[in-house]
Structure 1
Amino acid sequence: MTTSTRTRTLLLAAVGAVAVATIYAAQPVLVAMGADLGIGGGTLGWLVAAGQLGYLVGLVVLVPLGDLLDRRRLLVGHLLLTGTGTAVVALAGSTGLVLAGLATTGLFAVVVQIAVAYAADLAPAAERGRAIGLVTSGVVLGILGVRLLAGLLADLTGWRSVYAALALATFALAGLARVVLPPDPRGRPAGRVRGGLGALLRDRLFVARGMVAFFLFASFGTLWSGLALPLATDPWHLTSAQVGLFGLAGLAGALGAARTGRARTTTATATATTVRTALVVLVGSWLAIAQAPWSLWVLGVGVVLLDYAVQAVHVDNQHRLTEAYPGRSSSVIGGYMVFYSLGSALGAATTAAAYAAGGWVASSLLGAGFALGALAAATLLRERRFAAPPQ
């Protein structure tokens, strides 16, 4: 990878990290936000849901525009609007304005997917997998890092400072992107988005990869939405900040994503086998994660294995889909991420219920079950009939 290509890819990775952090920032400061705004109970959950719903709408409506409009301008515009929504959250004095700001932030934070597709097209064909791996690693750093840093910053200067810092970072990245990124290599795209999500859902390759992602991130969501439950009780009684430190173990997944992307460049013919191997690791990781009530060290090993496996498959999915659908990378990545979002939501919604019913063992069985679902979906990838249709 040349110096200029690497610089651009690292900038796009930073865009992914900061943009995704704006969506997940509410989780570690949710109680403080509710206390400041005078809300609680079921209403408090909308502080998280607003951003997630905005993001889901953006995946369907905005991301496909990357196949129609100049992506550098689109990326800069989305960053500016993401920063505006985040600034509204930092300054708002009412619940309604906070919810509006969070929804706006989520809507335009889909710039993450534009960054992934743009990185894939800017990189030489031989480096595409590595470029996607680097940007995906940035996204993982954003997801895991904000859970740790937001909590620490909120303790020092209040929850609003978290959103103020993210707004400033987003505006700065918009300026850098305008200066550093080259014009869209496709020139001036014109026409209409071909087919859209409905057409993709009729293609078996896309659906197979999407179902892998659905179960993959349901397993991921089961862990990260439920991990605090066993760690906050006997025998550990860890604080929120201490639980957040387990996010550092997840950084191994981010590093694994970059390395896996580089490997995928040279082993494309073995991609289905590699995906299935990673998913076997994912299933096995839950044996270690289930030990959370008894051993933090074994739990840490399980977290590393899970994050590595999830990111390895996630990078491979995006790499293969952008290869299979040239000229439609934004639509394909956006549609694929709908599966990601729905799977993450399913894992988050069910892990607490499983824990209430049977403790962390039940949550671990749930996560392992989702991992087995991903492995079952991956068996479809070895069949030749799932080759992408001509463009």
Structure 2
Amino acid sequence: MNLLSTDIKNKVLDKVIELLDARRSEIIEANQKDLDDFNKEDRAMYDRLVVNDKKVDGMIQAVKEVRNQDDPVGKVISEINKDDGLKIVNKTAPFGTIMIIYESRPDVTVEAAVLAFKANNKILLKGGKEAINSNEVLVDVWHQALKENDITTDYVKLLKLQRAETQEFLKNPTEQIDLIVPRGGERLIQFVKENASCPVLVSGRGNNFIYVDHSANWEQAIKVILNAKTNKISACNALDKILLDKRLPDLDKKLLHLQKALHEFEVELLVDKQVKEILSDEAEIENEDTWYEEFLALKACVALVGDEVEAIEKINKYSGGHSSAIMTTDLSKAETFMEQVDSGAVYHNASTRFTDGGAMGVGAELAISTDKLHHRGPLGLEQLVTNKYYVYGQGHVRV
């Protein structure tokens, strides 16, 4: 793959910005076709599918942010000059070809492509059939921008494959693929992991926890819980499980307060045996599988734990490794929690909704990685490169 100059890449991105605005009505009209064909009962998926003026503005802003970031390719990571004259330089380098498989979310079509392209990668976009009209127009925007700068449209490809065709492509790809990123629910992730013949970087599964310590500021805890649970239920950083310290003062009153606050937002509650003794009208958690589940809905589990040690154990057993939070006024306890919880992002007295490229200062993101190799958390521009060693000699041989 040829390395494009930063200037050329930025010219393409300037054109993408211009075209997204110029073809705004066309993009929204195409999206309306997708919305008209979609089953609105799946509220989370429907919310992700919507493209309006605000969403187009967000796409434009994402491209602008990436355009203005430093080129991540060719940066020197380390340089060693050995005594024998051998020079060893480690530099950042493109992955090559990245495939992203995602459901709904037409804005991912733009964000994934801009990140991959600025990092000099080709990207294969396998969006869901529910967003096909939106994605076709958005990819055409990319192709127009690439053509007008005499760059091959191979840098951005939309794959229109059915499930069986996708499965075959993953097992026997017709072109070199260096990394696959499945961005969606547990079923999609498992499907990709079972069938892919190249490295897979898992993204998107949330199942996030908040633990409320007995020393927590209760009003603050309620505020954070409501934000994490109800601000955007379709996001992978939304809250699913609430663990309360048994030692909370006036525990019964606090549980009733929590119940009322969540019910005002129409949140369905599932509770453990101990909580059910107080919130008798709520359904009890009867299946352990529920603890592993990411809801993406107005639903939450509420349970009691003895202390932060039990909370950490429960989180590490059941969570998706995405985001976990502790509400406490004890700084030492918060530090221990944050060190020992095995999540990509850990919070003290803050909502899990901040696990996002923009909110964390990364900018546009390809996904939120819950893997540990090669990166964890928001996958921004700097994370879409690998490395390469450049070794300079003068006839050096090893003895």
TM-score bracket, normalised by the shorter chain, equals under 0.3
Could you say which structure has the higher strand fraction?
2
Structure with higher Rg: it is: 2
State the TM-score, normalized to the length of structure 1: 0.26
State the TM-score, normalized to the length of structure 2: 0.26
Higher relative contact order (CA 8 A, sep 6+): 1
